Amino acid sequence: MSVGSYSEQKRYSGMLTLQPSAIHLRAVQDFAKLLPKAAAAAQRRAINKTLGWLRTHIARAVGRQERIAIAAVRQRLRAYPVSGSRMRGKLWFGLNAIEASRAGRPRQTGSGVSVAGRRYSGAFYKKVYGSKADIWIRTASKHFSAADYPDSELTSRRGASSGFVGENSDRFPLAKAKISLEQARPNFDSWIKRADERLLEVLKQELNFELQKYLKGTARV
């Protein structure tokens, strides 16, 4: 019966022989039979952890570059973890323009609205449509420039007013301030290229975890 690893000492050398003990040898053989189930669990966790890793790092990178609150960027990154037998996870990210009001904490001033280092002259921060306040400007304002409001919604529809006279009438169409995320695209691309490397690293950890868990279980028998 194997007693496991052992060493032999000589005058000028030593030899360490690595081999499994009888109990570990049985464990390895049994683990091989269970490998499909254990490997699937390890792969599932590795994919899901890598998705979370990507979501966190992309949000930080884009937030820093575009001066947008990380929490707002994370809402544009939606992870779909592995479920069932299909070993496939997905990470969705939206690159359409984000409302400027979500970039940070808007501050209304006499000359306009400032948020996250950006200034929107002639704009106002107010609830117009929906239940949340946004940064708006009248398109008739001398401060309005389409270039400063990328992908903004131009609206003149009628609806429930929040009390600002004529704010949603045809005479005073409004534009909502938004921030383009097109410049953030390289950040997504660069982190996605690192996904395979990270997945392999985590997969090794998870496979080792499954092995160690099984070996500990056999030691108690």
- pLDDT tens for 39-54 read 788 888 888 898 899 8
How much is the average pLDDT of 119-132? 89
- pLDDT category of residue 114 using cuts at 50, 70 and 90: very high
The token pair that represents 119 in the structure block: 């200034």
How much is the average pLDDT of 146-162? 59
| Residue % of the chain over a pLDDT of 70 | 72
List the single range of 20-24, 92-96, 118-122 with lowest mean pLDDT.
Answer: 20-24
The amino acid present at 80, given as its one-letter code, is: Y
pLDDT recorded at residue 23: 65
Question: Which parts of the chain are beta strand (E)?
Answer: 6-9, 14-17, 77-80, 90-93, 98-99, 107-109, 112-115, 118-121, 124-126, 134-138, 154-155, 174-176, 178-179
Q: Enumerate the domain spans of the chain.
A: 23-95+184-219, 99-180
CA dist 2 and 111 (Å) reads: 84
